[in-house]
Structure 1
Amino acid sequence: MTQGETVSTTFAKSVAEGIAGSLSGVDAELARRYPGDPGTRQPVHTVYVPADVITPETVGEWGRSALALLDAHAPDAGALADVLGMDTALAGPVHERIRAKLRREPVEDLRIDFEDGYGARPDDEEDAAAARAAQLVAAACSQGADGPAPAYAGIRMKCMEAAVRDRGIRTLDIFLTGLMEAGGLPGGLVLTLPKVTYPEQVTAMVGLCEEFEKARGLTPGRIGFEIQVETTQSILGADGRATVARMIDAADGRATSLHYGTFDYSASCGVSAAYQAMDHPAADHAKAVMQVAAAGTGVRLSDGSTNVLPVGDQAQVHDAWRLHHGLVRRSLARAYYQGWDMHPGHLPTRYAAVYAFYREGMERAGERLAAYVGKAGGDVMDEPATARALSGYLLRGLDCGALDVEEVAAASGLDRAELDRLAGR
């Protein structure tokens, strides 16, 4: 058959039109439920600091403490390579970038904690702490913030369970009201709803957001929140149905991410304290369910943390670093690009793992993207979905400081705008 020759068909035009009509509802539902990645920066970690100890200097202090620990226990690239088993050629730029990051932006996402890290306090004390938290977040997110500031900041309130519900709602109200009085809700605001067990609790949180928006004249949908997966009921309900997808649905577009809570979830599964960890089979099951439920929805994922701290003598610090580094690398390989850090000493190995992950794959990702764009073939034939993943990989490396625009352009032949387009941003 030659080009331009008429082909024979059997279906009348009305057949396709009829199918389009019958599937129009499904088309709309797919677009609503699965909008894809929001195309914004995702922090590589979240740092939790109890509300009673947070100060305007906390972020800078974490950076200085982490840098001092790095100087003491891995002062140069060779030492870092020895501790973490990293290739020496890779360790050089990684070590240099860690040092720069700890000075410039040691914490990417700061959460002021009013839940487990804070506990039960007299109402007047928590009221004052919530008002102070609003002042700190407003100052940290302002353009004129003194010292290093996180790109994202907010609070973790108490959960929606009956015993602490009223207190959590009041703290949220004081905090958001304080932000409005300080100039409005900052762009990097993040709220965390912990210990969710039923979708109805998510619906209640949506109601609070809606009421605040109406009262303050905000655009509907302006306030979003994270959902913490810390209970067995958040994975499997009493009726035997998977719960995570129902929670995302209940959030009505306001859920920004799902955060796995290592220790609460492990404990709720009956895992002994000595075996509660990010790589326990119970954790892997929960995170796999979270991953499938969130896929395509625009809701992002965050892994949990380790409670093994890099403190003590050098051998203890190195052991804790190797553990943390390995866990972070494991999460990255499983497409969990964010996690929690509980101590300043976790920052060097957080950034070591993240930076090595992006730097060691940059050249190959760039080559594959260049071949895809130029349709040049090569030893791997990539599809549009893989091109999106490859460009997203490079963009995440750029966002956190692992990669520079110039070296990504040299590897791929693409600038930031072209990467954004391929990633669907």
Structure 2
Amino acid sequence: MGQREQVATSLAAAVGEEIGALLAPVDAELLRHYPGDPATRQPVHTVYVPGDTFTAGTVRSWGDQALAALDEHAPDAASLAAVLGLAGELAEPVYARVRAKLEREPVEDLRVDFEDGYGHRPDAEEDEAAARAARLIAEADRAGTAAPYTGIRMKCLEAPVRDRGIRTLDVFLSGLMEAGGLPGGLVLTLPKVTYAEQVTAMVRLLEAFEAAHGLAPGRLGFEIQIETGQAILAADGTATVARMIRAAGGRATGLHYGTFDYSACLGVSAAYQASDHPAADHAKAIMQVAAAGTGVRVSDGSTNVLPVGPAERVHEAWRLHYGLTRRALARAYYQGWDMHPGHLPTRYAAVFAFYREGYEQAAARLARYADRAGGDVLDEPATARALAGHLLRGLDCGALDPDEVATATEGLTRADLEGFAVPRPGV
């Protein structure tokens, strides 16, 4: 052993105590407003179904229609790979997993729509549709046939439809309570949010409902749909969406980009309204930065090009949807909207290809990081979080199997992955 180093200090303990007292309010703010990712599953998509067409068989019907589209337009792995340009080694595992997913869990997140997809109806008709949605969701939850996440999109809180939106929310939530309580995967979506005060109003509504039913404060959360330019940039030049997250008081679960309303708000011509338009990229980048560290997830929008008609047209629509989904995943938008059963094959093909392409490298790097073994890339804790997050997302959606991940990571368990993936609060 060599000579022990002499350790010298100059600062009195009181200095550290003074700094601690000075930064205590900041420490509390960091913990309160930036708790980090909730470490729960995020669905890869949201499917919107109008309130008048939603039935007990909707989820299974979407899966069956998607399987029929595959049977007709891509009946085997080679044909789907040719349409989408999948690498040869990915074709079989991706195709097999897509079919299995459509048979087992075709929809990950279902939203019964009482807004644009439903329109304006007589009050009695919307009341009945909202009550029916609550009953069917409660029944599916008890039977174990519901999508992992299910809920409604109400009308917005702007003056012309405010009372109708509030009533639909009340009828739906009250119906769930009457049927046995709120399901674990309940999701509520508030559309066309322009001012933070509208978020505050939604919080007040949910507080009142919780109080009326003796629910724990904060039990009900909601997604904020970004569909106007004013939701991104306020009149004073500040980021409105950041204010919205703060106004939600911890109840905001997601920010969903509304492709077509937002594009129209900015004057983008209909032919160019798409999720890869520069205006869309700008909006989603602001949303992403505003949500970073808050625990609020960002969702991409949708394409309105439907894979219907002759094979050539279906394949063209599939290539478009696949490309947009892969583009979103590369930009860390891990969720999007699907508007038609025919979008499901390419949603899952894109998601599964994305996670399978990167999983062996991610697993090897994480294993080296865990063992402090080094390698040709010097990874830091933040990178380890991203590597573990990639593997966890792949496991959650079915792109990866637990056994193959355990083998590739040299024995890391899911608990180990979660330990790496969850950042320290406030960072």
Q: Please indicate, yes or no, whether the TM-score normalized by the shorter chain is above 0.5.
A: yes
Query: Could you tell which deviates more after superposition, 6-15 or 353-362?
Result: 6-15
* 1:213 correspondence with 2:205: no
Q: Structure 1 6/210 Cα, relative in aligned 2: closer, same or farther at 3 Å?
A: same
Counterpart code for 1:260: Y
* 1:32 correspondence with 2:29: no
Secondary structure of 1:340's counterpart equals strand
Distance in 1 between the 2:5 and 2:56 partners? 73
Aligned to 2:92: 92
| Equivalence map 1:63-78=2 (5 Å) | 63-78=63-78
Counterpart code for 1:37: D
Q: Which string of whole-angstrom CA distances, capped at 9 and with x for unpartnered residues, describes residues 70-94 of structure 1?
A: 0111111110110001112101000
Counterpart code for 1:418: D
Aligned to 1:367: 364
Q: 1:183 aligns with which of 168, 180, 185?
A: 180
- Give 1:137 deviation, angstroms: 1.4
Counterpart code for 2:225: Q
Distance in 1 between the 2:199 and 2:137 partners? 24
Aligned to 1:152: 149
- Give 1:141 deviation, angstroms: 2.1
Q: Which string of whole-angstrom CA distances, capped at 9 and with x for unpartnered residues, describes residues 231-256 of structure 1?
A: 01100112221101000000000000
The question of whether the paired residues in 1 share the 8 Å contact of 2:227 and 2:261 is answered with yes
- Give 1:139 deviation, angstroms: 1.8
Q: Which string of whole-angstrom CA distances, capped at 9 and with x for unpartnered residues, describes residues 275-302 of structure 1?
A: 0000000000000000000000000010
Aligned to 2:80: 80
* 1:333 correspondence with 2:330: yes
* 1:415 correspondence with 2:413: yes
The question of whether the paired residues in 1 share the 8 Å contact of 2:64 and 2:102 is answered with yes
Distance in 2 between the 1:128 and 1:99 partners? 36
Q: 2:309 aligns with which of 309, 312, 319?
A: 312
Aligned to 2:166: 169
Distance in 1 between the 2:199 and 2:157 partners? 9
- Give 1:3 deviation, angstroms: 6.7
Q: Which string of whole-angstrom CA distances, capped at 9 and with x for unpartnered residues, describes residues 291-347 of structure 1?
A: 000000000010000000000100000000000000000000000000000000000
Secondary structure of 2:275's counterpart equals coil
C-alpha RMSD of the superposition: 1.1
Aligned to 1:104: 104
Aligned to 2:192: 195
Distance in 2 between the 1:285 and 1:141 partners? 38
Aligned to 2:392: 395
Aligned to 2:234: 237
Distance in 2 between the 1:34 and 1:361 partners? 29
Secondary structure of 2:160's counterpart equals coil
Show structure 1 runs of 4+ deviating over 6 A: none
The question of whether the paired residues in 2 share the 8 Å contact of 1:159 and 1:193 is answered with yes
Q: Structure 1 54/3 Cα, relative in aligned 2: closer, same or farther at 3 Å?
A: farther
- Give 1:110 deviation, angstroms: 0.2
- Give 1:226 deviation, angstroms: 0.2
The question of whether the paired residues in 2 share the 8 Å contact of 1:141 and 1:153 is answered with no
TM-score of the aligned structures, taking structure 2 as reference length: 0.98
Aligned to 1:406: 403
Aligned to 2:23: 23
Distance in 1 between the 2:275 and 2:226 partners? 13
Matched length: 422
- Give 1:9 deviation, angstroms: 1.4
Distance in 2 between the 1:180 and 1:41 partners? 25
Distance in 2 between the 1:325 and 1:200 partners? 37
TM-score of the aligned structures, taking structure 1 as reference length: 0.98
The question of whether the paired residues in 2 share the 8 Å contact of 1:114 and 1:156 is answered with yes
The question of whether the paired residues in 2 share the 8 Å contact of 1:230 and 1:262 is answered with yes
The question of whether the paired residues in 1 share the 8 Å contact of 2:137 and 2:146 is answered with no
